[in-house]
Amino acid sequence: MLLVALAFQTASLPVQLMKVGKPFAQPTGIYFMPGIANSMIVLEKTGKIILQTDSQRKPLHRLKVLTGSEMGLLGLAFHPQFLKNQKLYLHYNPF
């Protein structure tokens, strides 16, 4: 999957696509980091957690997960005070 950003203001304006990341293997979620511009966390089904910015990709962590059918690393939620405590919550099937 290639990440692209869509930019438009009204239906009468043309849609603009912009490449923001290289292809990912089996992405299950893209989460924009609260309060941190141009940064997103990408989850891959196989357990990879990746930080993607405008210019670089940095692996953050890899979980051991089951990857059958509807399993794997499935979701993420940022703690309401994420900017202060750096906590986030993951939804996954442990190995």
Distance CA 91, CA 73 (A): 6
| Helix, strand and coil in the chain, % to nearest 5 | 5, 50, 45
pLDDT given at position 71: 92
* Proportion of the chain above pLDDT 90, given as a percent: 59
| Paired strand residues for 78 | 88
pLDDT, tens only, 12-33: 667 777 776 778 889 999 999 9
Instruction: Determine whether 19 is exposed, middle or buried from the number of CB atoms within 10 Å of its CB (0-12, 13-18, 19+).
Output: exposed
